[in-house]
Structure 1
Amino acid sequence: MINRFSSIRYSYIRSHLYGLFLTSITLLSLLLSIYVIFEPAWLTAPGIFLFISLYIVIGTILSLYAGFKSSGDMKERLEYLSVLITRFANGSYTSRVYFNEEDELARIGNEMNELGEKLQNQVKALRQRADEKAEFAKSAHKAAVIEERQRLARDLHDAVSQQLFALTMMAEAAVKQMDRDSNLAKEQMVEVTKAALQSQAEMRALLLHLRPIHLSGDTLSTGIQKLVDELKQKSTIAFKLNIPSDLQLADTIEEHVFRIIQESLSNILRHANASEVEISLSKPTSELFVHIRDDGEGFDSTQDMERKTSYGLKTMKERSEELGGTFTIRSNTGEGTYIDIRIPC
């Protein structure tokens, strides 16, 4: 935090007081020199020090007032530049600042405006590339379907198939122990139940990926509502949705956001063990804000993002950046996961 007494306003006041100090010393030296050399009758030592004292008191008051007033315009213009930089950092590249003066701050403001225009053009270029990529994806739909089937087959083999095999082995062992050791058999059946629940979660996540890649004519809010309604019937998770029904977005943005939310729900079903999920979409200004929260087990986001299991998170981040947006994830073990996405519109 910036020290209050090191601000622009107090720097102006200090400079005025420093000027007053130098002027007072100069006047005192001049008057004392005249008094010592010429000894005029109208100039006395008490008069000199009374004059200097009054001069310092009045000068201090005027310096404080002048420094405070003269720094107001400078402080206000610097705050305009600071707000502009903050808006650029948040993805609002249409903001501009204009000064009537012709000085260094006005030149910096013009350069910041040019930077904002360049960033805005880059976002448009990224969005155009995303549109072209979406068109290419539609034309290559058959190849994508084959690739998706192959991925699902690998996931079924690597996850669900192996879990079902382990579940079968544990169930057979529990049956054999039923007559010998009922307590051991009970413990094994508890493990069978846990394995079955895990397999069920994996199947739900895989079925979630079988939904159409595109919204099939539905709006984003309608598509998300249908997706959540389907998951409510197959899981015990409580969903909270906050999505405006009149949200107007480009088709490419809607498809990417839908796939991001779909991927996040898949991760929650597989890994989070959550009981409550919140999805919020808003468009307060010229950007779309997406917030996804769950109260699950969470993870160490500083380490797990580099692991293979975070492929879904990397995909979500890449989709956000393709639209010129920002992707932020916050999570700690045992504290759930928070995802914030900002996309310029």
Structure 2
Amino acid sequence: MIVQRILKNTKWELLLFFLLTGSLAAITLYIGTITGVIVVHDSRVWIYDVAGVVVLTLIIGYVAGRRIQGRIDPMHLNMLQVAKGNLSVRMPETVDQTFAGVYQEFNNMTDAVEKKMQLLQQLGEKEVMEKEQAAEKAVLEERRRLARDLHDTVSQQLFAIHMAASSLPKVLENNEEQAHLVMDQLILMSNTAQKQMRALIAQLRPMELVGKTLAEALDQWFPDYCRQNGLKGIKDMDLHGDMSEAKEHQLFLIVQEAMANIVKHAGAKLVSLSLREGPRQVVLSISDDGQGFSSTYQKQGSYGLTTMRERAEKLGGHVEIISKPGAGTTIRVHIPKFEDSKRGERE
């Protein structure tokens, strides 16, 4: 079992080969001494020689293993960086011909992935903007419908209330009993108009990003949302203001979805929002001190978590969800940036 574990690690496998080589050399020396091929006057000398050979091969094997492992570890680290969305990493040039080809292939592969991800992001942004334009048309149509509903329902109810209220003084003078009926009708109609107005208002949704940058929208929306839902909010933003409209739109929707999940499920009191824009990556992090959840629930997923993942993946990014029962939840979103993404968008 131990040998199998050793053979799975290149460094220890190389060290084992050196040890076997040293052992074979020591056995050969011992056999030569016994058969008389090698004459040793003092028996202790060959014991020292055997021990020296074994120790020397161990040292040489360890050094050689460390050197090889030292060339493998940077590539492993860069692969992890690429997996997390940082496509700017590259392997340095090396004089070691064994690894030079591997490093170059890794750089070529990363270049290809970066170009494809950039194209994917541009297509995703285009899709987002097309959907946004379609949504704006739908909003305009919905506003027209609401205007018609207001005219056909609340406006007519208010007109009826006005007519009934205007006739009430004369009815009260002529027939008090009939006046009470009119007042009951007024109460009923006003109550109906109020319900209709509430229903129409409930259908309206404010467009938080219209005419604002992402930072401006979050400065206004985040503290208001925390206050309305009894949360203490901490906000830390470092934005350069050169993000595309599609990225800002998707990130804002992800923030809204994450905050809605916290209010519905987390039972949290404190929420921390961090949004930082680097030269090659945008990182959004939202943490709460709520009840958290297990990895089983995370694998099953919920509608909110799935929606956030889909929004990030449209822009070539990904979402990390870190949570344990009783230890709160952290949602971290990585969106890659490309230097000429804005130029490609304009073209």
TM-score (norm 1): 0.67
Deviation per CA, 1:228-284, whole angstroms, max 9, x where unpaired? Answer: 233255342211111125464332211110111122223334454433222112346
Report what 1:228 is aligned to. Answer: 222
Contact map agreement 2:120 2:315 (CA 8 A) in 1: yes
DSSP-derived class of the 2:97 partner: coil
DSSP-derived class of the 2:111 partner: helix
**1:87 Cα deviation from its structure 2 partner:** 1.0
Q: Which runs of 5+ in 1 are unaligned?
A: 36-42, 150-202
Contact map agreement 2:294 2:323 (CA 8 A) in 1: yes
**1:3 Cα deviation from its structure 2 partner:** 7.0
Q: Which amino acid aligns with 1:221?
A: A
What pairs up with 1:130-279 in 2 under 5 angstroms? 130-145=124-139, 210-212=205-207, 215-232=209-226, 234-246=228-240, 248-279=242-273
Deviation per CA, 1:153-208, whole angstroms, max 9, x where unpaired? Answer: xxxxxxxxxxxxxxxxxxxxxxxxxxxxxxxxxxxxxxxxxxxxxxxxxx9xx979
Aligned mates of 2:308, 2:204 — CA distance in 1: 14
- 1:344 and 2:336 correspond: yes
**1:127 Cα deviation from its structure 2 partner:** 0.8
- 1:325 and 2:327 correspond: no
Report what 1:177 is aligned to. Answer: none
Contact map agreement 1:208 1:266 (CA 8 A) in 2: no
Over 3 Å counting, the alpha-carbon distance change for 1:147 and 1:329 in structure 2 is: farther
Deviation per CA, 1:270-318, whole angstroms, max 9, x where unpaired? Answer: 45443322211234663222111233455567448868xx433322221
**1:143 Cα deviation from its structure 2 partner:** 3.7
Report what 1:117 is aligned to. Answer: 111
Question: CA RMSD for the aligned pairs?
Answer: 3.7
1:99 to 94, 98, 105: 94
Deviation per CA, 1:58-109, whole angstroms, max 9, x where unpaired? Answer: 3234223322332332111011121121112211122111332222x33333
Report what 1:28 is aligned to. Answer: 30
Q: Which amino acid aligns with 1:57?
A: A
Over 3 Å counting, the alpha-carbon distance change for 1:143 and 1:52 in structure 2 is: same
- Large movers: runs of 4+ above 6 Å: 2-6, 146-149, 206-209
Over 3 Å counting, the alpha-carbon distance change for 1:17 and 1:333 in structure 2 is: closer
Report what 2:52 is aligned to. Answer: 58
Q: Which runs of 5+ in 2 are unaligned?
A: 144-197, 338-347
Contact map agreement 2:293 2:326 (CA 8 A) in 1: yes
Larger-Rg structure: 2
Aligned mates of 2:279, 2:138 — CA distance in 1: 35
DSSP-derived class of the 1:140 partner: helix
Aligned mates of 1:209, 1:77 — CA distance in 2: 59
Over 3 Å counting, the alpha-carbon distance change for 1:236 and 1:23 in structure 2 is: closer
Over 3 Å counting, the alpha-carbon distance change for 1:322 and 1:208 in structure 2 is: farther
Q: Which amino acid aligns with 2:205?
A: L
Contact map agreement 2:234 2:272 (CA 8 A) in 1: yes
Q: How many residues align?
A: 279
Over 3 Å counting, the alpha-carbon distance change for 1:298 and 1:8 in structure 2 is: closer
Over 3 Å counting, the alpha-carbon distance change for 1:207 and 1:331 in structure 2 is: farther
Aligned mates of 1:101, 1:28 — CA distance in 2: 38
- 1:281 and 2:267 correspond: no
1:314 to 301, 306, 310: 306
Q: Which amino acid aligns with 1:16?
A: F
Aligned mates of 2:138, 2:300 — CA distance in 1: 26
DSSP-derived class of the 2:255 partner: helix
Over 3 Å counting, the alpha-carbon distance change for 1:278 and 1:148 in structure 2 is: farther
Aligned mates of 1:248, 1:75 — CA distance in 2: 41
Contact map agreement 1:208 1:262 (CA 8 A) in 2: no
Aligned mates of 1:208, 1:230 — CA distance in 2: 20
DSSP-derived class of the 2:29 partner: helix
Q: Which amino acid aligns with 2:20?
A: Y
Q: Structure 1 vs Structure 2: percent identity of aligned residues?
A: 25
Aligned mates of 1:323, 1:288 — CA distance in 2: 11
**1:116 Cα deviation from its structure 2 partner:** 1.5
DSSP-derived class of the 2:285 partner: strand
DSSP-derived class of the 2:287 partner: strand
DSSP-derived class of the 1:94 partner: coil
